[in-house]
Amino acid sequence: MNKRTWLQAAAALGVSVLMVGCGSSLKTVQPTVTPAPAPPPVAVQAPAPPAEDPVTVLIAQSQQYFLDGERERGLGHLEQAKKDFDEAIDVLLRSPYGARSEARIRQHFDLLVERISAYEITALAQGDGFAEKVSEPASIDDLLALSTFDTPAATAEIQTAVASDLSLTSHDIEIPLNSRVLSYVELFQGRLREFIGEGLQRGSRYLPMIQDEFKRAGLPLDLAYVPLVESAFKTNAQSRARAKGMWQFMRSTGLEHGLKQNWYVDERSDPEKATQAAAKYLKTLAGMFDGDWHLALASYNGGPGRVQRAMKRGRKGDFWELSKSPRLLPRETREYVPMILAAMVIAKNPAQYGFEPSPDQPLSYERVTVKDPIDLRRVAEWTGTPIDEIESLNPELRRWTTPVRTPAYEVKVPVGTGDAFRTRLAEVTPESLAAFQWHTVKRGESLLSISRKLQVKQADLAEANYLSVRARVAAGQQLIIPRAPTTLMAASVDNPAPAAQLAESRSVVSQEASLTAPAAPVPSEPQRLTYRVKRGDTLFSIAKLYNTTVEALKSWNTKTVRGNRINAGDRLTIFASRTAN
């Protein structure tokens, strides 16, 4: 290889050549090899994630709507719950798969329909606006029952604590340091500690209002603790004798002191109105017994007439002397006064007896005037408030609706929500506020005949319309029927044709009569059909499918339908309009 060729070859190989002249000879130095630049890294593509199963995604989406509906239903927001439940079904019906073609969707769909149907049945049974709220037992019954047995004798420790307390704490009602009062202090801070603690906690919400009212009335403020024994400050408490509310008024005594009671309202449960009535009554009792509060309290329990007769028979004017004889006063009244006084001792200075209640916020709210009856669940939804809170602010309402046929009613709502509620009220028609059923009286009808025809109690029909049981009704008169065929759960105001797809999808007409729905239907005369009840059907879903009412279904099937119950396999007669092109 000649020199030139060699150099070219070396250059091509990247070899550095150093030539040193020395005579005619050539020397080469060890060549240095420069490494070629590394090629750019080859990007390794991560394996693509497996494609999501569209059926799984669809079911998850449907389930989320259902869970949202359950949450709203728990808050009493039935209108929004209904929308969520409908969407849980509709998202399946709108999918390319439909609700029945794919096995997993079909299983989910059937379960969904079953659960929603159960909620509908519950709503129909107790959510029609006329079901009366459930009362709680009044604590006075249980406390007086305990007094049947020997109450525990006060320990030396309790005697010392009470004596010290009374010497330092002022009371505006005389508290005698006797064994009977001490015995109840022992019971309340011992075996009944939890009951008294809960009552003190609950009462902290109402005590400022009660004490303000009693100050205005010039009454001893210690009387504010009477509800601790009577009801544990529960506004919906009801005794076995039918006394009602925080102050446990009997019906007649409540009416006598201005507390309204009718089908819709029982103001004995209104904490403010009942407190005003209690102030009047206690003041009257004090006057009857010359300011002796022990006798006045005995009268609050047993009635003033009974106490006056006992005083006359026993020729005694002191409660403690009267109570020594079981022949003069009943046991309940003899035990009631020391029980109330013991409650006053503890409530006035709870820390002395080991109670540390954390006070609740005092009762506060806004009032919004409504001119037409409204369902309380709608109030809850429009104010963004749980239904329980709306009920607790309006405990005088016996049912889930404000009264009908009243010029106006003030609904109490949480502070800060009044304006939002008024805005929604202004956007709707009066007819859409409550799902009531009305009946127009026909010639010759009476309350009795109407009640029989519509299967409601005559007394309920009369009271719901502010009538006496024997009242006459005139042709053309509008009556409210104390039962609603639809509910907010089943038919929202904004969408008065609810869940038609749901009803259609779960109700298949039996072979005896199959209906179709052409694109341009023209109604014809009603036709008698036979429908076989399927699993998951309700009277409401069937009624919606045939564009009729639950009451109509019942009237056509008196031998089959009992109440609101139907069973799979039952055959129902339906008079429906067939459609034709």
Residues identified as active-site? 230
Mapping DSSP to helix (H, G, I), strand (E, B) and coil, where does residue 449 land?
helix
Within 13 Å of residue 328, how many CA atoms lie on the same side as its CB?
Answer: 21
C-alpha atoms less than 13 angstroms from C-alpha of 433 in its C-beta half-sphere: 22
Closest CA to 92 of 75, 113, 71, 78: 113
Q: Which helix (H) or strand (E) holds 528?
A: strand 522-532
DSSP states along 288-343: HTTT-HHHHHHHHHH-HHHHHHHHHHHT---HHHHTT-TTTS-HHHHHHHHHHHHH
Q: How far is CA 467 from CA 263, 264, 266, 405, in A?
A: 10, 13, 17, 12
Angle between helices 418-427 and 376-383 (to 10 degrees): 120
Tokens of 319: 């409660």
- Strand 20-22 relative to strand 136-137: parallel, antiparallel, unpaired? unpaired
Radius of gyration of the chain from its Cα atoms, rounded to whole angstroms: 39
Q: Which residues pair with 576 in a beta bridge?
A: 527
Question: Which residues on adjacent β-strands are paired with residue 136?
Answer: 237
Q: How far apart are the C-alpha atoms of 253 and 275, rounded to whole Å?
A: 13
Is the Cβ–Cβ distance between 232 and 199 less than 8 Å? yes
Residues in CB range of 547: below 8 A, 6 or more apart: 576, 577
DSSP SS3 for 369:
strand
Q: Please say whether the beta carbons of 117 and 536 come within 8 A.
A: yes
Segment 64-70 long-range contacts (CB within 8 Å, at least 24 positions apart): 65/91, 66/112, 66/115, 66/116
545 in Cβ contact with 531 (< 8 Å): no
Residue bearing tokens 């403010």: 272
